[in-house]
Amino acid sequence: MPQGLRRPFFSVGVTAFRRRDLLRETLASLQAQIFSDFEVLVGNDDPAEELAAEAFGISDARIRFINHPRNLGEIGNMNALLAASQARYFTWLADDDCFQPGFLARVREAIARHGFPPAVVTNYGAGQYYQAQAPAAVAERVFSGRAFLDEFLCQRVRAIGSSAVLAREVLRRWGGASRLGTGTPLYTDTLLAIKLGRLERVVYLEAPLIFLRTHARSQSWISTDAAGYQSAQEALCQESIAVFRTEHLRGRFDWYLFQLLRVWCVSYYYKVLRRSSLSALAALPGYWRFIWRTSQHMSRFRLRLLAALVRQTWWLAVSCLHRLVPAAGQKAGV
């Protein structure tokens, strides 16, 4: 940072790629923040079309556009923004999502109230259309990293790992965002949330202060890339096992890995299969081998995991039969 300039309290890294209209709304949600001591770094990953403040009617020194000379990919873009940031605390925001007006204010209050913890995480809402909501009092909970991991893996708290507000140096020490697997980036958010288990304290705000946009192009809704999901899950498990073996977490290692496999791997993989073509079922034996191989790290809960796998396979079989019966009827002229 140039000498004499005071660094902002928050840095928000916005990853952008060919969604100008949605980006406009995202930036408007940032300009509407009640707490104003922040910088916004917009990483444009489309070398063919530069972005500039003038194109959005923006005259705000806090917002800086970084046009990458080549496409870095989503994870590369995220880490480039982290490297360029100056603030004490950092978070990411996708170019189709928004922060509620009180997001930074409520996070800043929690940081001050709890003596500058390494992480503040908030609940989120989801939908097609963003609607700003007036800030109100926010209930909060203070977890140990271990307790937060328990709640997150069991889905008793909702959190987007990349939108956790983290001390920048902690995030840099972790290496920023990680690309998992060989396909479309998946589970980056999940791994970041799991890494919060390493921390001494995590403050959780229960209000949905983040808006996550669901639309027809959302990979989590439309992906049929079963191979990509398995590849990402294999990498997620490898990285997560290292976290679960941290000294203060290892006593619950089996439980954490069981929940990761049951909730975050098996259930999501089978959702992908249910919206894929029937030919995708050929990959199931390889997926079962991956789950069985990973479960060897556990000394407990393997039968419960097997039961979950059998249950998901049964539901998948029923789903496939429902698809086959109408198809057979159509061929027969019924």
The pLDDT confidence band at residue 334, using thresholds 50, 70 and 90, is: very low
pLDDT at residue 266 in the model: 98
Output the CA torsion 56→62→63→69 (10° steps): 140
Query: Which tens digit of pLDDT belongs to each residue from 93-142?
Result: 999 999 999 999 999 999 999 999 999 999 999 998 999 987 777 899 99
Are residues 115 and 29 located together in one domain of the fold?
yes
* Amino acid found at 57: G
Q: Is the pLDDT of residue 56 over 80?
A: yes
For 230-233, the CB contacts below 8 A with 24+ separation are 230/181, 230/269, 230/283, 230/286, 230/287, 230/290, 231/180, 231/181, 231/182, 231/183, 232/180, 232/181, 232/183, 232/185, 232/186, 232/187, 233/181, 233/187, 233/264, 233/265, 233/268, 233/269, 233/290
pLDDT value, residue 326: 64
Q: Which domain, by its residues, includes 272? A: 223-324
| 3-class DSSP string for the chain | CCCCCCCCCEEEEEEECCCHHHHHHHHHHHHCCCCCCEEEEEEECCCCCCCCHHHHCCCCCCEEEEECCCCCHHHHHHHHHHHHCCCCEEEEEECCCEECCCHHHHHHHHHHHCCCCCEEEEEEEEECCCCCCCCCCCCEEEECHHHHHHHHHCCCCCCCHHHCEEEHHHHHHCCCCCCCCCCCCCCHHHHHHHHHHHCCCEEEEEEEEEEEECCCCCHHHHCCCHHHHHHHHHHHHHHHHHHHCCCCCHHHHHHHHHHHHHHHHHHHHHHHHHCCCHHHHHHHHHHHHHHHHHHCCCCCCHHHHHHHHHHHHHHHHHHHHHHHHHHHHHHCCC
Q: In the predicted model, what is the mean pLDDT of residues 232-245?
A: 98
Crossing angle of helices 145-153 and 188-195, in 10° steps, is 150
330: in domain: no
Tell me the pLDDT tens digit for each residue of 187-217. 999 999 999 999 999 999 999 999 999 865 6
- Please check whether residue 329 lies inside any domain of the structure: no
Q: Is residue 1 part of a domain?
A: no
Q: Which of 220, 253, 272 is the last residue of a domain?
A: 220
- Residue 2 lies inside a defined structural domain of this protein: no
Residues 18, 80 share a domain: yes
Q: Give the pTM.
A: 0.92
Last residue of a domain, one of 194, 220, 246: 220
Give the HSE-up count for residue 138: Cα atoms under 13 Å, Cβ half-sphere.
28
At 332 the pLDDT is 46
Question: Alpha-carbon distance 75 to 188, whole Å?
Answer: 8
For 63-102, what is each residue's pLDDT tens digit? 999 999 999 999 999 999 999 999 999 999 999 999 999 9
Residue 314 lies in a domain: yes
**Given pLDDT bands bounded at 50, 70 and 90, which one contains residue 163?**
very high
Domain identity same for 45 and 143: yes
Last residue in a domain, options 154, 187, 220: 220
> Each residue of 270-313: pLDDT tens digit?
999 998 888 889 999 999 999 999 999 999 999 999 999 999 99
Mean pLDDT of the chain: 92
Of the candidates 27, 107, 102, the one whose C-alpha atom is nearest the C-alpha of residue 63 is 27
